[in-house]
Chain A
Amino acid sequence: MPECKCCSKVYFKMVKCVLLEQLQHFVNQLTHSVASAHLVRLYDRYQALDKDNKGYLCPQDFGAIKELAMNPICDRIIGAFFTSGQEILDFPSFVRILAHFRPVDKNRPKEPNSPDPINSRSNKLKFAFQLYDQDKDGKISRHELLQVLRSMLEKQVTEEQLESIADRTIQEADLDRDDAISFEEFRKSLDKVNIDHKMSIRFLR
């Protein structure tokens, strides 16, 4: 990578053109054609977030987004991008996570043997589930639920209220009485909710 800033800018532009054509192919496999215009925008956004021109993103770059910093669960969302404690996020991984939020393509016929596309309802639910389940044991324990509630409400309610909310939620959703919410129980409790609408982001152009 070139040393001086103006050279690296030109370099990035040239790299971008080559990279995008390769990426198109990769992303097509992932999500059945992200429009190339959207991909260009995402790549520009990726570069804009990479303020020091490192070539990759780190958690601090996300923390610098003001609107994200004021989100109560911002740490968890950032954690969703940086899986397994890694501090480096390259562009394909960036796109892969964001691909969860593509609107579900209702017109595509479901092929029986192909794997679920990354933006299927099931995968969206898994993404939301993982926001709760930070230790990745496949269950949302009472402790994990309390932590999420605490970050969403913090000083606004008392500790007892938080605990009572957590207890009530587990009571309603926990069907096998193991004092934790498994993914299946999670999915069942959200059976009638329009997940596609709530967990999708639409591009304007």
Chain B
Amino acid sequence: MESYWFPFDNLLCMLLGISFTVWFTLLLVFIIVPAIFGVSFGIRRLYMNTLLKIFEWATLRMERGAKERNQQLYKSCSNGIIAKEPASLEQEIQEVRRSGSGLGGAEFDVSDIMFFCRRGVESIVDDEVTKRFSAEELESWNLLTRSNYNFHHISTRLTVLWGLGVLIRYGILLPLRVTLAFTGVGLLVFLTSVIGLLPNGEMKSFLSEKAHLMCYRICVRALTAIITYHDSENKPRNGGICVANHTSPIDVIILASDGCYAMVGQVHGGLMGVIQRAMVKACPHIWFERSEVKDRHLVAKRLSDHVADTSKLPILIFPEGTCINNTSVMMFKKGSFEIGCTVYPVAIKYDPRFGEAFWNSSKFGMVNYLLHMMSSWAIVCSVWYLPPMSREEGEDAVQFANRVKAAIARKGGLADLLWDGGLKREKVKDVFKEEQQKLYSKVLVGGGEDRSRS
């Protein structure tokens, strides 16, 4: 029996050996070597364009299928599904009164409740905040079930294509990406530890820069991220702070593969902790202990000390404090804007057609999220480096933060919201309700005697 299998066994081993060799050679030539030198063969762009054509075809098929059955295709709409009146509280109430009694006087009328009622029901049907914390909906289908809302319009041909897509993504792309990811992270830890043994000086900084860039580029390829950098002349320089909008933990990799930054964050345990400790050996990053994070004074001092030393790299900070779904920019926390140095804003916009980059931390854990990322088609994004900004005379930290936020939102084509990203988990503060009450009382009581609480 055994001798019967022997020749096949040998043949199998040989075939496996050859395919592994070929595999790794291709990997080395097409991915790792370009990553080291920062060049690109353009393979990823070709891949992206091919995918786009396939998606268009898939959407057309679905539309045709829907038309044949005389049904409407569900189309997404991220700008809101109902028409909201932009008129203010005062205008609306005056209008109702005027149409009623013809007086428009400043007296309470039983119909006033209708304004609040309608506003309330409008917010039940569609509110600005809730939809920012779930993944954006897509107009066309990108062959991932997680983004398809027109389930019953799929024809056999599409199902076959979808099945093929699953095979390619999970069978070929995922293992490739996981290998690369491990390579990238492993190299990062190894190289930074080695460089950390050198004495401080120009050589060390130069080598550490190269090592960081190379490893991040490998990680970028591990995600098949296709990034377009705009306005690179505005890239952040030493002695400044770089702020960007936050969509996922991958933002760090995307920015750090084009320039060197000093990271800021909490000290973690486990694998993250190992990476953090290794990185800080090669060049100074700012890692806070859990206890230190609450002490805002201490945090501010460490940041300003770092910024004052112009030999140290620019700090990378995400002022929103949490992941938002990349359709809007939420309130920036003022801490990093109080330090008083140059701020380099960066806008990051992901193209959701190829893979949803948003991390919904209440729904998915980190591992689940990374799995999603690595089994999508690609991560396509654009990065815009905005011209540096500084705090102006008479501007306080909050106003400065809002100015930077508006610039980022404008450049990235995102909605600029005043809401706090912390609302993902916390309740609305009573102060908002009081604002509404204040506005209404002004309409009633008028501008005469000021009885409102300050």
Contact = CB atoms under 8 A, between A and B. Distances in A.
B81 A205 contact: yes
Given A132-B113, A156-B453, A14 B436 contact: no
B125 A42 contact: yes
B88 interface: no
Interface in B73-93: 74-75, 77, 79-83, 92
Contact of A65 (B117, B130, B433, B440): B130
B419 interface: yes
A201 B114 CA distance: 12
Contact of A198 (B118, B127, B432): B118
Interface string B94-114: 001001111000011111111
A66 to B, nearest CB: 5
Given A69-B427, A71-B120, A156-B438, A195 B114 contact: yes
Contacts of B428: 66, 69-70
A204 B432 CA distance: 27
B417 to A, nearest CB: 11
Contacts of A17: 151-152
Contacts of A101: 118, 121
Given A193-B99, A205-B75, A205-B77, A48 B131 contact: yes
Q: At the interface, is chain A mostly helix, strand, loop or mixed?
A: helix
A41 B72 CA distance: 12
A198 B82 contact: no
A165 interface: yes
Given A42-B125, A157-B451, A199 B114 contact: yes
B100 A193 contact: yes
A66 B80 CA distance: 16
A17 B436 CA distance: 40
Contact of B419 (A48, A66, A155): A66
A115 to B, nearest CB: 23
B117 A67 contact: no
Nearest to B114: A198
B129 interface: yes
Contact of B437 (A74, A77, A155): A155
Nearest to B432: A70
B124 interface: yes
Contacts of A44: 149
A171 to B, nearest CB: 12
Interface in B12-29: none
A73 B440 CA distance: 12
B150 to A, nearest CB: 9
A40 interface: yes
Contacts of A194: 96, 99
Contacts of B113: 73, 128, 131-132, 148, 152
A67 B149 CA distance: 27
Interface string A62-87: 10111111111110010000000000
Contacts of B117: 73, 77, 127-128, 131, 199
B433 A72 contact: yes
Q: At the interface, is chain B mostly helix, strand, loop or mixed?
A: helix
B427 to A, nearest CB: 7
A28 interface: no
A155 B434 contact: yes
A64 B425 CA distance: 9
Interface in B397-454: 419, 423, 427-428, 432-438, 440-441, 444-445, 451-453
Contacts of B81: 41, 45, 203-205
Contacts of A32: none
A48 B134 CA distance: 8
B157 interface: no
B440 A152 contact: yes
B126 interface: yes
A192 B100 contact: yes
Nearest to B150: A17
A181 B130 CA distance: 38
Contacts of B453: 155-156
A129 B12 CA distance: 81
B124 A204 contact: no
Interface string A32-68: 0000110011101100110100000000001011111
Interface in B59-82: 71-72, 74-75, 77, 79-82
Given A44-B149, A157-B445, A198-B111, 19 more contacts: A9-B146, A13-B148, A14-B151, A40-B149, A48-B131, A66-B129, A66-B419, A98-B125, A101-B118, A128-B111, A149-B108, A156-B440, A157-B441, A168-B108, A191-B100, A193-B99, A195-B111, A201-B121, A203-B82
4 smallest beta-carbon distances between A and B, as pairs: A156-B441, A70-B432, A67-B123, A193-B100
16 contacts: A62-B124, A65-B124, A69-B427, A70-B436, A73-B113, A77-B117, A127-B117, A132-B113, A152-B437, A157-B445, A165-B108, A181-B110, A192-B102, A193-B100, A198-B111, A203-B81
